[in-house]
Amino acid sequence: MEQIIGFIALLFGIGLAAGMVWLQNRPKTDFKVSLIPHTPLLFVGALIAIVATAYLLSVYGIDLPERGSRF
C-alpha cells in the first residue's frame, strides 16, 4: 500500500510540473492574463516528485545519507 501511495504522489508531481511547463510554453495569441500561477505550481510539482522519490527509496530499503554527514 505504501508503494502505491508513493507512485501516485510521484506521478502527480511529475504530471503537475509537466502540465505547468506546457502551459507556460504554449504560444500566446491574445493578451489575457492566466488565472493559474504557473511557476509556483511548477515548483510544488517538482517538490512533490522529489519527496515522493525519497519516500519510495526509503520504502524499498535504500538508506539515504544522514543530514550533515560528509561520508
Q: Total domain count for the chain?
A: 1
In a domain, 70, yes or no: no
In a domain, 46, yes or no: yes
In a domain, 6, yes or no: yes
Is the pTM value of this prediction over 0.75?
Answer: yes
The set of cell numbers assigned to 27 is: 504560444
Within 13 A of 38's CA, how many CA atoms are on the CB side? 11
In a domain, 15, yes or no: yes
In a domain, 19, yes or no: yes
In a domain, 30, yes or no: no
Q: What is the pLDDT of residue 71?
A: 59
**pLDDT tens per residue across span 18-69:** 999 998 888 888 888 778 888 999 999 999 999 999 999 888 887 666 777 6
In a domain, 69, yes or no: no
User: Residue 10: which domain range?
Assistant: 2-24+37-59
